[in-house]
């Protein structure tokens, strides 16, 4: 096939379509179906604890630790991968490797079983690695295939396709889990629902791997820029070190990045554990109400987040980014405080709506605020690599502390309330910025 020209519509569409294929992972598995499935596995056990590698773990704490470990690996390998991505012409092969690692891991979740926990958690672990690893190479393609004036629009198009695709598959899987008999799935209601959830893992893996073929068919393969050396391999780390050194000359940027690191640690943890929290602490009438309630809540969060991002953008233009970020952090303080007391489904729905409202806003506003503080430089990629690694390291710390408190106290409520400390500290650091 003759390579498509940079900026061509077909090439841009093919790139954006990878969002359509991989976004189903973050919605269907990370946010909705897997937390439900994992909770159901403990329904007939005497308690929520399980032995793994010689230690006794609370189920949600164990998932928190595995998630923290996965993000730690991603944070460590991302600079290596970015160095390789900038240098190697065959970075499409690396992107394919992580795509297939993630999608095959999703398929492997079909056999998730507490009696073979090492294999099961490995599938969950490598699903995370595959998803985030492929994004390193996916994002690095953007300046290669699109002209500068096309990049913002193309990035937004990818996000939109990802949202649409993931919601479509989520709705299909919701019907599959709620009405398994429509698909010929028999057995008791509990058995049928569990099998339907296992099948939903298959659909994610097949969807992700299958639709990505369109992207891989058109993405170009470039010539190598020379021999791969240790200098190139560690170039990503060198870039991060350079950014770290430059932060000393940019006090406002450094203050903001410190504040972002603190509050993002809590924000990302809330997002990653929300469904596990709802599955375990809310007093649902029965399994059917729990399944419908949690999945609908996740879809509601997605929808409300879009409106929240728009509202946040308007408020920031009127009151300024820092003040709005302080306000959002304060709302998160209220959410975490209320979460300690919620017990009924209606409480969870209301809390989820507020999470969605501030979730979309804080993510988009944090990134745009960071870009505004950047110094005049052409090397914005290095600064955003530093930003991404900062965010991932924050997730590692947040998830580990959350899991540790959950494990120590036996209560997810206590772990959620502990996050208030990070939000309050984030407000304090942002307030100090606002005075300068």
DSSP string, 200-242: HHHHHHHHHHHHHHHHHHHS--PPP-S---HHHHTHHHHHHHH
Q: Which range among 2-6, 110-114, 166-170, 296-300 shows the weakest confidence by mean pLDDT?
A: 2-6
Residue 355: is its pLDDT beyond 80? yes
CA pair distance 218, 38, nearest whole angstrom:
38
3-state SS string over 315-363?
A: HHHHHCHHHHHHHHHHHHHHHHHHHCCCCCHHHHHHHHHHHHHHHHHHH
Tokens 């893996």 belong to residue: 205
Residue 67: is its pLDDT beyond 90? yes
Structural domains in the chain, sorted by start = 9-219 (1.20.1250.20), 249-436 (1.20.1250.20)
Q: What percent of the chain has pLDDT over 70?
A: 91
Is residue 340 within 8 A of residue 419, CB to CB? The reply is no
Distance of alpha carbon 183 from the chain centroid: 30
Residue with more model confidence, 163 or 407: 407
Residue with more model confidence, 238 or 291: 291
Taking the model in full, what pTM does it have? Answer: 0.86
Q: Which range among 88-92, 124-128, 178-182, 266-270 shows the weakest confidence by mean pLDDT?
A: 88-92
Q: What pairs with residue 56 in β-bridges? A: 51
Q: Which range among 147-156, 227-236, 315-324 shows the weakest confidence by mean pLDDT?
A: 227-236
Residue 239: is its pLDDT beyond 80? no
What are the structure tokens assigned to 88, written together? Answer: 């190697």
Computed over every residue of the chain, the mean pLDDT equals: 85
Mean pLDDT of the region 106-131: 95
Residue 128 is predicted with a pLDDT of 94
pLDDT band per the 50, 70, 90 thresholds, residue 209:
very high
Mean pLDDT of the region 114-137: 92
pLDDT band per the 50, 70, 90 thresholds, residue 197:
very high
Residue 80 is predicted with a pLDDT of 76
Residue 89: is its pLDDT beyond 70? no
Mean pLDDT of the region 107-124: 94
Give the phi and the psi of residue 163 in degrees, each rounded to 5.
Answer: -65, -45
Between 148-178 and 189-218, two packed helices, what is the crossing angle to 10 degrees? 160
Mean pLDDT of the region 311-338: 89
| pLDDT (tens digit per residue) in 250-267 | 788 888 888 999 999 998
Residue 55: is its pLDDT beyond 70? yes
Winning range, highest mean pLDDT, from 15-24, 138-147, 271-280: 15-24
Residue 380 is predicted with a pLDDT of 58
Residue 27 is predicted with a pLDDT of 86
Mean pLDDT of the region 69-89: 78
Residue with more model confidence, 369 or 127: 127
Residue with more model confidence, 399 or 364: 399
Collapsed DSSP state (helix, strand, coil) of residue 51: strand
Residue with more model confidence, 371 or 283: 283
Distance of alpha carbon 341 from the chain centroid: 26
Q: Specify the DSSP class assigned to residue 378.
A: S
Residue with more model confidence, 338 or 371: 338
């Amino acid at each position: 096939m003759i390579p498509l020209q940079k900026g061509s519509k077909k090439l841009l569409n093919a790139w954006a379509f990878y969002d359509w294929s991989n976004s189903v992972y973050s919605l269907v598995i990370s946010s909705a179906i897997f937390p439900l499935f994992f909770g159901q596995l403990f329904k007939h056990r005497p308690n929520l604890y399980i032995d793994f590698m010689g230690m006794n773990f609370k189920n949600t704490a164990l998932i928190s630790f595995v998630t923290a470990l996965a993000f730690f690996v991603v944070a460590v390998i991302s600079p290596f991968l970015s160095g390789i991505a900038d240098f190697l012409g065959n970075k499409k092969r690396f992107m394919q490797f992580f795509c297939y690692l993630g999608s095959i891991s999703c398929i492997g979740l079909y056999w998730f079983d507490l009696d073979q926990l090492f294999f099961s958690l490995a599938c969950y672990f490598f699903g995370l690695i595959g998803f985030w690893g492929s994004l390193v190479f996916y994002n690095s393609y953007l300046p290669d295939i699109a002209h500068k004036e096309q990049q913002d629009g193309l990035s937004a198009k990818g996000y939109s396709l990802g949202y649409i695709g993931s919601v479509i598959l989520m709705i299909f899987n919701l019907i599959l889990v709620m009405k398994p008999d429509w698909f010929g799935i028999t057995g008791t209601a509990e058995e049928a629902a569990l099998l339907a959830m296992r099948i939903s893992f298959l659909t994610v893996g097949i969807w992700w791997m299958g639709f990505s073929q369109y992207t891989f068919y058109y993405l170009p393969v470039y010539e190598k820029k020379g021999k791969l050396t240790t200098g190139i391999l560690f170039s990503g780390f060198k870039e991060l070190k350079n950014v770290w050194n430059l932060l000393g000359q940019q006090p406002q940027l450094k203050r903001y990045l410190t504040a972002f690191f603190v509050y993002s640690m809590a924000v990302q943890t809330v997002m990653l554990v929300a469904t596990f929290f709802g599955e375990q602490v809310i007093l649902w009438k029965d399994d059917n109400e729990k399944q419908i309630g949690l999945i609908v809540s996740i879809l509601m969060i997605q929808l409300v987040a879009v409106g929240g991002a728009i509202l946040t953008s308007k408020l920031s233009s009127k009151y300024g980014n820092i003040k709005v970020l302080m306000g959002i952090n304060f709302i998160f303080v209220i959410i975490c405080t209320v979460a300690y007391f919620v017990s009924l489904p209606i409480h969870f729905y209301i809390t989820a709506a507020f999470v969605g409202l501030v979730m979309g806003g804080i993510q988009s506003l944090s990134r745009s605020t960071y870009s505004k503080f950047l110094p005049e430089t052409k090397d914005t990629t290095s600064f955003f690599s530093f930003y991404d690694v900062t965010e991932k390291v924050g997730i590692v710390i947040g998830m580990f502390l959350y899991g540790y408190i959950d494990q120590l106290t036996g209560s997810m409520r206590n772990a959620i309330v502990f996050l208030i400390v990070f939000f309050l500290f984030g407000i304090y650091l942002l307030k100090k910025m606002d005075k300068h």
